[in-house]
Amino acid sequence: SQKIEQNSEALNIQEGKTATLTCNYTNYSPAYLQWYRQDPGRGPVFLLLIRENEKEKRKERLKVTFDTTLKQSLFHITASQPADSATYLCAQTGYGGATNKLIFGTGTLLAVQP
Amino acid sequence: DSGVTQTPKHLITATGQRVTLRCSPRSGDLSVYWYQQSLDQGLQFLIHYYNGEERAKGNILERFSAQQFPDLHSELNLSSLELGDSALYFCASSVTGLPNEKLFFGSGTQLSVL
């Protein structure tokens, strides 16, 4: 079955550095990958969407890449700030005909130290 | 505020009981999704409705059922509750449910089964 894997270990970085989070998937290549931010006790909030035929997408300090050969998406936050500390979730849809399911990875906790 | 309303925010009940969680999607959104989030499982897709019709099912137990009403609000019914059903239940909505759409999440219902 389709799986999405994110690094379960927390990522600790210093303020001002670039944070890079990884999302790997198995089997089918999804048509779309989405990234969400989740704060404790709150619902996820959409950040970026990238299509299968796009290599890169940017929004302000955020950048997402999608490599179908490696079956991987990377999520970058440049000039990170303590306010960026949260759990970041990767989600995929449109794989193997499953167009009506958005499946999430377990998320990576990012902690930005001042 | 995402515009998605979930009630109640907290629910405490006993094993064997039945509860109903309610979700009102954003104005104009026709699709509703339900997710379960527990500490060890991450965000698990349960079910997706579009304009009153079921579109996709995930790992939803037979003890759980859902529906979307003509006014587009949705309810998730959980019966014969077990301790393991304790989790945060999220509802999300999108305009049409197409795979290239972002989801807007509610703030969740925290269910505690004692």
**A33-45 pLDDT per residue, tens:** 999 999 998 999 9
Averaged pLDDT of chain A? 90
CB contact under 8 A, B42 and A45: no
Is the pLDDT confidence value at A47 over 90? yes
A85 by DSSP, 3-state: which? Answer: coil
Q: Looking up tokens 């944070």, which residue turns up?
A: A19
Closest listed residue to residue A34, CA positions, set B99, B37, B108, B50? B99
Is the pLDDT confidence value at A99 over 70? no
Give yes or no for a contact between B22 and B78, defined as CB atoms under 8 angstroms apart: no
Is the pLDDT confidence value at A96 over 60? no
pLDDT at position A97, please? 55
Across the range A81-108, mean pLDDT stands at 85
Which residues in chain A are closer than 8 Å to B50, comparing Cβ atoms?
100
Across the range B23-29, mean pLDDT stands at 97
Kindly report the backbone phi and psi dihedral angles of residue B72, in degrees, each rounded to the nearest multiple of 5, phi listed first: 80, -5
Across the range B43-66, mean pLDDT stands at 93
pLDDT at position A95, please? 61
Interface of B with A in 29-68 (CB under 8 A): 33, 35, 42-45, 48, 50, 55-56, 58
- Considering only the C-alpha atoms of chain B, give the largest distance between any 2 of them, rounded to a whole number of Å: 40
CB contact under 8 A, B100 and A51: yes
